[in-house]
Amino acid sequence: MEERQIVSFDYAIKYLLRDKKDFGILSGFLSELLKRKVTVEAILESESNKVDPDGKTNRVDLKAQFDNGEIAVFEIQFLHEVDFLSRVLYGVSKAIVEQVSSGSKIYDIKKIYSVNIAYYNLGANKEYLFNGKLDGFRGINFKDETIPFAQTRGLASDDLNLKADIHPEYYLILPDMFDEHMRSRFDQWIYVLKNSAVREEFNADGIKEASVKLDLLRMPRSERMAYEKYLENKSSVDCAIFTAKLEGLTEGRAEGEAKGIAKVAKSMKDKGRELKEISELTGLSIQEIESL
């Protein structure tokens, strides 16, 4: 089976897929994941959508808006971190609050889809794709009694045009757990997430566009050099942080990890690396790096 090597999805989503002409790739990815036709209309600008974030508390890599106003928030994580699921909640909560702070009414809040890609095992045995959502209230004393969210929304005035399903929905993708057995069309996208490659026979929505747009061999030399530098830096920093975390375990997990990351950041700073680059690779704020 012939394969085409392409740019890794994390790099693409950070730097290459923010142009409207390339929204078809994200639209295809989300259409296959959500099992319905989705059209990405805009990449939303906010504190949670910076390419080079100054803060470490919010590492949402992308926030995309659909043509119906709903929003997808992407979070990609490579190394195990104890606050990963907390940051998932933070990113979703912030995306909800930003809708109201931007001038919308509370009854206009749109559904958030939280798409989380973790390149490590979060405790799964063999599953690689998880879905979580709230669908209503369940009785505590009488377990068989439920009030669906759709019914509670239906009690409101019809002229508000309220949607029943506005509560966040979460997806967790673990590419490293994928056994490469194709059970659905979205599994083609998980193969891409795992291997940064597209097979010739793949036909999932958006995947052909991705194979062309993200083709390493077709990238201009300057872009390819930038990408190779990104991979080199990421690999070096990930290895150094992982080693520092192991060394710090005897001092307590949280404290040891913090010291390990600070040690790596200081070393990069001493070698003359740009503060924004250090911030992006380590998750520390620029202010924290400057104080090292």
**Enclosing H/E stretch for 173:** strand 169-173
Coil vs helix vs strand at 6: strand
Binned at pLDDT 50, 70 and 90, residue 70 comes out as very high
pLDDT tens digits along 196-246: 999 999 999 999 999 988 887 677 777 777 777 777 766 666 666 666 656
Q: Where are the domains of the chain?
A: 3-218, 221-280
> Do residues 170 and 132 make contact, with C-beta atoms less than 8 angstroms apart?
yes
pLDDT digits (tens, 9 = 90+) for 79-116: 666 677 888 888 899 899 888 876 667 777 889 999 99
Residue reference for tokens 């080693």: 243
Q: Tens digit of pLDDT for each residue in 138-172?
A: 899 988 888 877 655 444 445 444 556 788 999 99
Rounded-to-integer distance, Cα 291 and Cα 280, Å: 17
**Cα–Cα distances in angstroms (integers) from residue 251 to residues 75, 247, 288, in the given order:** 29, 9, 21
pLDDT above 70 covers what percent of the chain? 77
Alpha-carbon gap, residue 171 to 117, rounded angstroms: 8
- Note the pTM of the prediction, 2 decimals: 0.72
CB 100 within 8 A of CB 46: no
Closest to 113 measured CA to CA, from 39, 60, 167, 67: 167
